Amino acid sequence: MTRYLLVSRSAEYETRLRRLFRARMQTLPGEYLTFGVDEAVDRVRKTPAIALLGPLLTLGETKALSAGLAEQYPGIGVVVVREQRSDLEDWVEEVGMHAVLSPEATDAATQSLLARLDDWLVTSGRAEAPEPTTDVGDPDDDGTTISLVDLLKAPPSKTPAAPPASAAEEPSREASVEPAEPEWTLPDVGGVRTEVIAVAAPKGGQGKTTLAVNLATGLAEVAPNSVVLIDADLQFGDIANVLDLVATRGLAEAVDAADDEVLIKTQLIRHSDDFFVIPAPRSPELADVIDPQRMGALIDRLATMFRYVVIDTTPGLGEHTLTALEHATDGIFVTSLTVASLRALRTEFELLVTLGLLPQNRHIVLNAVEKNTGLVVADAEPIIGAAPDVIVPRSSGVLLAANAGVPLIHNDPRDPAAKAVRTLVQRIEPAAYPTRRRIHRRRRSNEPQ
Ligand SMILES: Nc1ncnc2c1ncn2[C@@H]1O[C@H](COP(=O)(O)OP(=O)(O)OP(=O)(O)O)[C@@H](O)[C@H]1O
Ligand SMILES: [Mg+2]
How confident is the model over 133-182, as pLDDT tens digits?
444 433 333 332 333 333 223 333 333 333 343 333 333 333 333 333 34
| 92 class by beta-carbon count within 10 Å (0-12 exposed, 13-18 middle, 19+ buried) | middle
pLDDT confidence of residue 142 = 33
Q: Which atom of ligand 1 is nearest to the CA of 394?
A: 3
Burial category of 86 from C-beta neighbours within 10 Å (exposed 0-12, middle 13-18, buried 19 and up): exposed
Which residues lie below 8 Å from residue 232, measured CB to CB, with a gap of 6+?
251, 280, 295, 311, 312, 313, 314, 320, 321, 324
CA torsion angle 189 190 191 197 (round to 10) = 150
Confidence (pLDDT) at 436: 64
> How many whole angstroms from 207 Cα to the centroid of ligand 1?
4
3-state helix, strand, coil in the chain (%, to 5): 45, 15, 40
Q: What is the pLDDT of residue 132?
A: 59
Give the pLDDT score at 32.
Answer: 84
Backbone φ, ψ for residue 277 (5° rounding): -130, 135
One-letter amino acid at 375 equals L
What whole-number distance in Å separates Cα of residue 230 and Cα of residue 24? 36
* Ligand at shortest distance from the CA of 390: 1
Report residues of the chain scoring pLDDT below 50.
Answer: 133-182, 444-449
The predicted structure's pLDDT at residue 139: 38
Distance between CA atoms of residues 69 and 41, nearest Å: 7
The CATH class that applies to domain 4-177 reads alpha beta
Picking from 14, 354, 379, 6, the residue whose alpha carbon sits closest to that of residue 187 is 354
* DSSP letter for each residue of 402-434: HHHTS-HHHH-TTSHHHHHHHHHHHHH-TT---
Q: Tell me which residue has its CA closest to atom 8 in ligand 1.
A: 207
Q: What protein residues have CB closer than 5 angstroms to ion ligand 2?
A: 208-209, 233
Pairwise CA distance, residues 367 & 315, whole Å: 15
Distances (CA, A) of 440 to 139, 276, 326: 70, 20, 37
pLDDT of 30 reads 85
The bound ligand whose nearest atom lies closest to the alpha carbon of 208 is 1
Domain ranges of the chain: 4-177, 196-446
SS3 state at 39: helix
Helix axes 11-21, 107-123, angle to 10 degrees: 70
| Spatial separation of the C-alpha atoms in residues 215 and 87, rounded to whole Å | 59
Report the residue count for the chain.
Answer: 449
Nearest ligand atom owner, CA of 211: 1
Query: Ligand 1 atom 31: the closest Cα is on which residue?
Result: 399
Q: Could you tell me whether strands 146-147 and 196-200 are parallel, antiparallel, or unpaired per DSSP bridges?
A: unpaired
**What does the alpha-carbon distance between residue 269 and residue 161 come to, in Å, rounded to a whole number?**
68
Which residues are near ligand 1 (CB < 6 Å)? 201, 204-210, 233, 315, 367-368, 392, 394-395, 398-399, 402, 417
User: Taken in order 154, 157, 162, 165, is the CA torsion positive or negative?
Assistant: negative
Helix (H) or strand (E) holding 29: strand 25-29
H/E stretch holding 77:
strand 77-81
Q: Which helix (H) or strand (E) holds 283?
A: none
Domain 196-446 has CATH 3.40.50.300: yes
Q: In CATH terms, are 4-177 and 196-446 the same topology?
A: yes
